[in-house]
Structure 1
């Protein structure tokens, strides 16, 4: 198995040996120009040799060799990225996803476009491989923590060290709930990967739905003293799967609570956009902000937000990814929008569900 360094060195050397032809924006034009030039040179050379008395049996083979030499030399410059892609594909097959095709950014023919697309694919594969490794580490950690706590609690009760009091049983219940939540997250992730999810579509009142969604979050918020303000008209209705949408709103609002300092306010504001036939909800976490460069990454699986400088938040890193998935199932979207008040997650959902064909 070749090392990543040797693969990169081979690709760098290949780039240095051959300079691609960048005169045309189309591979067909490049090949046509190459054939025309080789033919013209061969014709001129043949005419010159015959004019000075060379035999045709000598002039013709010599001319063909020169024409083939010219074609081979310049075609190597045209097809150099293709050879690099072969080497990169072989390296990726061996598990090295860091290699890339070295391509001149000024090259705009089909080979250049293919090379850039190939590099984009390699970046996605590298990210997917990193996420796979992170998933194994995260899931192992998330499972080990509650299981260890449960084991210690139960062993202490079995040995008579602690009594099965209400507080101790409440601790066991908390850990089992944590395990249940993790399993639910992983099941949702498997559905996301499979692209399969059945929806139970029904019409419901948005204000009542949000009240039912927010109530358990307020109870779970405990002593953090967050104030969840609701601004939604009582007459707004929509169609959708309430269970899936509850996942969506629970994860977004819980994320806002997690990243809000104690004794602060989280705003949940909903209105109907009649022009576009959508229901728009903004969940605003006052005070904090999300950098524009991070706004797309936070919706990736297993990407955890920051609670402070260099400090990751707890959880599985799946909540926002599942929220976006639930929105997309309904033909909607979730995104972070500019808001001077703080981090603003905007949820846009169609008022009426349109069944996929």
Structure 2
């Protein structure tokens, strides 16, 4: 039989309670027994002192011990007189002697008392006459209880003590069981939620009842479940988008090749160029997917050094200028003479090319693109802002998602595969920077990239 964590916690707390309870019971019993014996000892000492004082008066009256020798009744009458007057004058403890006592003369000859031997460690009180000790009142030390009344009282206290122990044990068991179940209820909810999560149910959530460690653990579990659910949705969307992007060019290639095979079309330079265009589209998509997977894994090689961003932007603009001119788009730059940062020149060039390609595809003919570099207190800002068409706030929030394109037709000729901005975001983050999109003052989209570097700018 396997004991669960509830049973283990119950046994641990209950065992601790029982250990404390038994220790307290043992300590109380020892304290009571010793205290009761000390009480009896003090009672006897008080009675011995009073008896000794009374015998001193009798000795003055008689001048010797002849009145007491072999006459125990004299002592008993004195003791009874003490007990009768205890409430009013003497303030004695409860009635009765708790131990044996003796009265002896100065030579330790027994006058009154038990016939047995007198213990050496007995309690003694001297009897004086004319500044001399004429006798002693002696009592046996109360090492244990001897009177029936005292023994019965001790037994009653012992039974009461064990009854309290039994009731306390039942109470401790009940409280410990409820406490262990209450403490482990959040843990059980987490265990059930973890089993659902492990089985693939990413909608599993647990109630976070409290702000303690278990409450924070439940909140972290819910955050983890939300992240896994979001990642699962992204994975499914990613697979659907990849299959969609691959299906269309492959279908076009198959149709073109079947047409050539059936003789419907002739292998002319135009048909071959069409096939090469579709192959180029597939190659570009596969390359983008490869680059994206490498950047996600952190496997992209970055050889960072001090580079001039202005020079890299000029190279990228020069490569795209003819294509922009063919579409009727104007490129305006606001660049300093030099802007140095620590980065990988090839990856930064890839970043700039992706941003230029994005503006080229989405900006209407006759519009313009403005590129600028601005110094920051502790870094460098590069911005791209183009003209119409614009995008909605919802589209801005998703613009860096994979395979997301703002136009609804999903036309590959204008929209590409939707991976360029996702790759750009990974490149920026690999350089310790941030990238975000907002509305452009020209009616299009403004992409802002901030790099944490120290600038050395000279105004152009």
TM-score normalised by length of structure 1: 0.71
Give yes or no for the alignment of 1:62 onto 2:156.
no
Give yes or no for the alignment of 1:212 onto 2:312.
no
Give yes or no for the alignment of 1:115 onto 2:214.
no
Assess, with a 3 A threshold, how the Cα gap between structure 1 residues 191 and 87 changes in structure 2: closer, same or farther. same
1:132 maps to 235
In the alignment, the residues of structure 2 paired with residue 314 and residue 83 of structure 1 have an alpha-carbon distance, to the nearest angstrom, of: 50
2:437 maps to 336
Give yes or no for the alignment of 1:326 onto 2:427.
yes
Assess, with a 3 A threshold, how the Cα gap between structure 1 residues 138 and 69 changes in structure 2: closer, same or farther. same
Assess, with a 3 A threshold, how the Cα gap between structure 1 residues 78 and 330 changes in structure 2: closer, same or farther. same
Give yes or no for the alignment of 1:93 onto 2:198.
yes
2:407 counterpart SS class: strand
1:243 counterpart SS class: helix
176-185 or 216-225, which deviates more:
216-225
1:347 maps to 449
In the alignment, the residues of structure 1 paired with residue 250 and residue 436 of structure 2 have an alpha-carbon distance, to the nearest angstrom, of: 35
In the alignment, the residues of structure 2 paired with residue 129 and residue 198 of structure 1 have an alpha-carbon distance, to the nearest angstrom, of: 28
Assess, with a 3 A threshold, how the Cα gap between structure 1 residues 328 and 130 changes in structure 2: closer, same or farther. same
Q: How does 1:28-67 map to 2 (within 5 A)?
A: 55-67=160-172
Assess, with a 3 A threshold, how the Cα gap between structure 1 residues 289 and 139 changes in structure 2: closer, same or farther. closer
Contact 2:437 2:446 in 1 (8 A): yes
In the alignment, the residues of structure 1 paired with residue 309 and residue 454 of structure 2 have an alpha-carbon distance, to the nearest angstrom, of: 13
Contact 1:272 1:280 in 2 (8 A): yes
Assess, with a 3 A threshold, how the Cα gap between structure 1 residues 310 and 174 changes in structure 2: closer, same or farther. closer
Q: Give CA-to-partner distance per residue, 1:20-62, whole Å, 9 cap, x none.
A: xxxxxxxxxxxx9xx99xx99xx9xxxxxxx999744444233
1:304 maps to 404
Give the gaps of 5 or more residues in structure 2: 1-12, 25-155, 456-460
Q: Give CA-to-partner distance per residue, 1:129-161, whole Å, 9 cap, x none.
A: 112222222212211211221122223223332
Give yes or no for the alignment of 1:162 onto 2:265.
yes
2:384 maps to 283
Q: How does 1:168-247 map to 2 (within 5 A)?
A: 168-217=271-320, 225-247=328-350
Assess, with a 3 A threshold, how the Cα gap between structure 1 residues 317 and 82 changes in structure 2: closer, same or farther. farther
**Residue 328 (structure 1) shift:** 1.9
Give the gaps of 5 or more residues in structure 1: 1-31, 44-50
**Residue 128 (structure 1) shift:** 1.3
Contact 1:204 1:239 in 2 (8 A): yes
Runs of 4+ in 1 over 6 A off after TM superposition: 51-54, 309-313
Q: How does 1:143-158 map to 2 (within 5 A)?
A: 143-158=246-261
Q: Give CA-to-partner distance per residue, 1:188-237, whole Å, 9 cap, x none.
A: 22212322222233555434422332455555569754433322234334
1:139 counterpart SS class: helix
1:306 counterpart SS class: coil
Q: Give CA-to-partner distance per residue, 1:81-140, whole Å, 9 cap, x none.
A: 322111111011111101111224xx3211111111111111111111112222222212
Contact 1:280 1:349 in 2 (8 A): yes
In the alignment, the residues of structure 2 paired with residue 68 and residue 220 of structure 1 have an alpha-carbon distance, to the nearest angstrom, of: 83
1:46 maps to none
1:199 counterpart SS class: coil
1:26 maps to none
Assess, with a 3 A threshold, how the Cα gap between structure 1 residues 225 and 314 changes in structure 2: closer, same or farther. same
2:447 counterpart SS class: strand
In the alignment, the residues of structure 1 paired with residue 171 and residue 439 of structure 2 have an alpha-carbon distance, to the nearest angstrom, of: 64
Contact 1:336 1:344 in 2 (8 A): yes
The counterpart of 1:72, out of the listed 162, 177, 187, is 177
In the alignment, the residues of structure 1 paired with residue 267 and residue 324 of structure 2 have an alpha-carbon distance, to the nearest angstrom, of: 26
